[in-house]
Copies of this chain bind each other. A is one copy, B any other.
Amino acid sequence: MRNYPTVLAALLLIGVNTNVAAAADPVPYPTGYREWVHVKSMLIEPGHPLFDSFGGLHHLYANEQAVQGYRSGLFPDGAVIVFDLLTPISADHAVTEGARKVLGVMFKDSRRYAATGGWGFEGFVGDSQTERAVGDKAATACFGCHEARKDNGYVFSELRP
């Protein structure tokens, strides 16, 4: 029988964030997303209302089904959108890309994620493919804002020409 310190050590070893409960249907890490279509980018600076959560330079990437969704307005199941948030490095009159802060993911499965507009939401911390920042908090931490974009398939971004 394991005691608490042993269980805690085991959790730490496998990289589980003990503050985040696992979601019933966890969103998979978006393997290969760096070769997907680059949707658009934005730099969020201090003073912006979303700075605490999303401050930095972010890029959005879309897999083929998500590109289809951006173009048609209807995101099919299997669509995945990635929000790649990097630490901005301001120096010598330029902003360049630093370390990854978090990799946000929206994964469309209208059955599994019916409670949150058909989208599963997750955030992978830094470069980790296993450490999750959202877990079972998607309804409040993510969908609370995305819900306002119902007429756009719950997606904020648009595909830049």
Q: Which residues of A contact B (CB under 8 A)?
A: 34-35, 37-38, 40-48, 51, 57, 59, 61, 67, 92-97, 127, 160-161
What is the CA–CA distance of A44 and B96 in the complex, to the nearest angstrom? 9
Q: Are A38 and B51 in contact (CB under 8 A)?
A: no
Q: Are A34 and B37 in contact (CB under 8 A)?
A: yes
**Can you list 15 contacts pairing A with B, beta carbon distance less than 8 Å?**
A34-B37, A34-B161, A35-B37, A40-B97, A42-B94, A42-B95, A42-B96, A42-B97, A43-B57, A44-B93, A45-B93, A45-B94, A48-B92, A48-B93, A97-B160
What is the CA–CA distance of A41 and B61 in the complex, to the nearest angstrom? 14
CB neighbours (8 Å) of A51 from chain B are 93
A97 to chain B, nearest CB (A): 6
Q: Are B95 and A47 in contact (CB under 8 A)?
A: no
Nearest CB to that of A61 among chain B residues? B38
Q: Are A57 and B34 in contact (CB under 8 A)?
A: no
CB neighbours (8 Å) of A160 from chain B are 34, 97
